[in-house]
């Protein structure tokens, strides 16, 4: 009935959070045995415009165990920092021990940038991001489509291959992507641990993905 229909969006959000909540339990169980486990370090890749708005909506559902939250955004992004600081200020009113950091990296690809020059700028962004990712050593990376997430995730994969730090990558494709993946999605589809889409057409084309309906 109507009550069941009203619950469907919340059930979808709960389904999204389930793998995110199970991941830290597994990680922390390996890291330390005891009644109290350390918090989970979360790295969030923000993007200009709607990407940051969507990712902050997802973060609002996470508990205080996901701390500190390390935000990475492109150096040319002029809007996201204000949104993030406003979000964290409100979160601090609920969780007194809330912690976060903000870092910027060179944008890997600008809108309408040529593919040839994109290779160079992406390599530069990867070289810049590698020491930063190593310094932050996140347990979990959450991203939703901005090009900035590609060099960060590549660096996290490299650190894992080198045995320096294993990070779980959760990629949530933007709600705007109905029938085709974004360029970032096409790349990270093969490397992410969880790949979440919000439209059934994408689930049909990309069977590895998890379809949960609209979640943001």
- In the chain, DSSP assigns E strands to 40-45, 66-74, 100-105, 140-143, 168-172, 194-197, 210-211
Q: Three-state secondary structure along 103-127?
A: EEECCCCCCCCCHHHHHHHHHHHHH
C-alpha span between 87 and 175 (Å, rounded) = 21
Span 23-80, pLDDT tens digits: 444 444 444 455 555 789 999 999 877 889 899 999 998 888 899 999 999 998 888 9
What is the average pLDDT score of the chain? 83
pLDDT reading at 135 higher than 90: yes
Look at 199 and 11; give whichever has higher pLDDT: 199
Count Cβ atoms below 10 Å from residue 129 Cβ, excluding itself.
24
Q: For 128-146, what is the mean pLDDT?
A: 94
Prediction pTM value: 0.81
What per-residue confidence (pLDDT) applies to 36? Answer: 54
pLDDT reading at 215 higher than 80: no
At 6, the pLDDT band (50, 70, 90 cuts) reads very low
What per-residue confidence (pLDDT) applies to 212? Answer: 83
What per-residue confidence (pLDDT) applies to 63? Answer: 86
State both tokens at 116. Answer: 């040839």
At 158, the pLDDT band (50, 70, 90 cuts) reads very high
What per-residue confidence (pLDDT) applies to 147? Answer: 84
Q: Identify whether the C-beta of residue 182 lies closer than 8 Å to the C-beta of residue 158.
A: no
Residue percentage of the chain with pLDDT more than 90: 54
Q: For 109-134, what is the mean pLDDT?
A: 85
């Amino acid at each position: 009935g109507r009550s069941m229909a009203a619950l469907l969006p919340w059930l979808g959000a709960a389904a999204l959070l389930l793998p995110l909540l199970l991941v830290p339990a597994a990680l922390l169980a390996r890291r330390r045995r005891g009644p109290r486990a350390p918090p989970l370090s979360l790295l969030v890749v923000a993007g200009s415009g709607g990407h940051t708005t969507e990712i902050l909506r997802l973060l609002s559902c996470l508990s205080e165990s996901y701390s500190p939250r390390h935000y990475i955004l492109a150096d040319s992004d002029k809007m996201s920092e204000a949104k993030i600081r406003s979000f964290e200020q409100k979160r601090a009113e609920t969780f007194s021990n809330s912690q976060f950091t903000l870092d910027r990296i060179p944008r890997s690809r600008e809108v309408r940038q040529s593919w040839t020059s994109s290779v160079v700028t992406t390599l530069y962004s990867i070289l810049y991001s590698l020491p930063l990712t190593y310094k932050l050593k996140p347990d979990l990376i959450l991203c939703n489509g901005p090009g900035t997430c590609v060099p960060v995730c590549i660096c996290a994969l490299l650190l894992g291959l080198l045995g320096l730090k294993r990070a779980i990558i959760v990629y949530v494709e933007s709600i705007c992507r109905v029938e085709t993946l974004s360029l970032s999605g096409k790349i990270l589809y093969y490397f992410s641990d969880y790949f979440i889409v919000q439209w059934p057409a994408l689930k049909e084309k990309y069977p590895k993905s998890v379809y949960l309906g609209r979640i943001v």
